Structure 1
Amino acid sequence: MLSYPQEPYQQAQPGPGPQQPPAVPIGAPGQYRAPGRYAAPAVDPSAVSDGTPGYLPSPRQLPSDGQLPADGPFGLPGRQPPVRGRRKLWTILGIAAGVLLLAVLGVIILLSVVNAATNQARGLADGFTKLVISGDSSKAYDDYLDPALKEQLSKEAFIAGVKTLEMNSSCQPAYNNVKAGTENNTKSADITGLITCDGDRKIDLVYRFEGEALKMVNIKLKPQA
């Protein structure tokens, strides 16, 4: 057995290996934590200009697009206030719709007034013509002729003139054109048409009514040649 001289006993020195880094200060002075357990928050440079440290949000707090949320009321994250241009656009559209509605209503009212006046004029012409066809010319004269026309045409002359037309129950009137309106603040209506009787006899008719009550101021009943 071989033996060698040995050094006096010495405590073994630790060999090379992973070393624990020294503690890193955090927060207030005198407080320490072991490094590697927690990640220190990133400092926002724009927030330390007045000496107050600020921190950026962690990646988990960022939206999917990576953009910071916009500040809402009182500095809280939120949406931007609505753009005034949209409210102005809706106001303009509302005004335009109101003007268009008024225009449409005006056209409808005008057409209603015109149709009412036209129907009134047609009714007057038809009532007068049916009286003279049936031989009741006296009533037609009294009820439909204007006083100014009566001064120019006596009742006797009117009745005699209607008899010369030799109309009977076979005669049927047709109104080709009925025009009613207001001229110089005076209501008026012009009617033209044709009375067709048996034997292919035809009589042209032309009437004109004027005044608030629309009385006949002109009449023409003439057989076609």
Structure 2
Amino acid sequence: MSNPEEPYQPGHADAGARPAAPPRQPPAQPPGQYADPTPFGLPGQPLAKDRKKLWIILGIVGGVVLLAVVGIIVLFNVLGGATNHARGLADGFTKLVIAGDSSQAYDDYLDPALQEQLSKEDFIAGVESLEMDETCEPAYNDLKVSSENGNNAADIAGVITCDGRQVDLAYRFEGTDELKMTNIKLRPKA
């Protein structure tokens, strides 16, 4: 028997002692193949299943980012198109008024509801009192477009400058398909 104070020494044969187990050997592999050092692959290498999940996640994230970018581009194109359309309406109306074609501006741009409130004669007389001529140039400082329940609206504000004189302008265009002027302000700037 061994002394309890002495550590077990492999060279001593004790009656109750178990022999030491031989070291484990990896199973034999066919020539040219190597056994995985761990049952899960090399440390730091993801499993094939994890790579598949990674690609799925990256695909989803990429799809969401792509949809967001496309949505933003479409939104800017729609709003940019509406803004350009509103600016074109304001330019067309203002050029007719400056050129002295107030009758055509009244017929082509004013909404029938506004025409009921403002007679053609009063409109023409009001524009003539501003004494605008070919030296006048419009500048739009504020242009806002909106759409609600299929009704589109554009608010335009700015100044018409004529040889040192200025005329404040403010227009509102509304409509579903074709925008018509529903509100107008043309006054000498104070």
Distance 1:93 1:119 in 2: 38
Of the three residues 147, 166, 169, the one matched with 1:202 is 166
Query: Partner of 1:132 in structure 2?
Result: 97
Paired residue type of 1:223? P
With normalisation by structure 1, the TM-score equals: 0.65
Of the three residues 161, 164, 172, the one matched with 2:129 is 164
1:90 CA displacement:
0.8
Query: Partner of 1:123 in structure 2?
Result: 88
2:123 is equivalent to residue 145 of structure 1: no
Distance 1:145 1:131 in 2: 13
Query: Partner of 1:183 in structure 2?
Result: 148
Distance 2:133 2:141 in 1: 21
CA RMSD, aligned part only? 2.8
SS in 2 for 1:142: helix
Distance 1:108 1:123 in 2: 22
SS in 1 for 2:34: coil
Query: Partner of 1:7 in structure 2?
Result: none
With normalisation by structure 2, the TM-score equals: 0.76
Question: Which blocks of at least 5 consecutive residues in structure 1 are unaligned?
Answer: 1-45, 47-54, 72-78
Of the three residues 211, 214, 217, the one matched with 2:175 is 211
SS in 2 for 1:70: coil
Distance 2:149 2:127 in 1: 33
Distance 1:133 1:56 in 2: 97
Distance 1:174 1:69 in 2: 79
Deviation readout 1:35-62 (Å, 9 max, x if unpaired): xxxxxxxxxxx9xxxxxxxx968xxx7x
Distance 2:138 2:132 in 1: 11
Of the three residues 63, 72, 75, the one matched with 1:110 is 75
**Which deviates more from structure 2 when the two are superposed, residues 175-184 or residues 88-97?**
175-184
Distance 1:140 1:56 in 2: 95
Question: Which blocks of at least 5 consecutive residues in structure 2 are unaligned?
Answer: 1-23, 37-41
Distance 1:69 1:178, change over 3 A: same
Distance 1:146 1:208 in 2: 10
Distance 1:210 1:56 in 2: 84
Query: Partner of 1:19 in structure 2?
Result: none
Paired residue type of 2:112? P
1:162 CA displacement:
0.5
SS in 2 for 1:112: helix
1:178 CA displacement:
1.0
2:15 is equivalent to residue 87 of structure 1: no
1:181 CA displacement:
1.7
Distance 1:154 1:99 in 2: 55
Distance 1:217 1:69 in 2: 83
Bigger relative CO (Cα 8 Å, ≥ 6 apart): 2
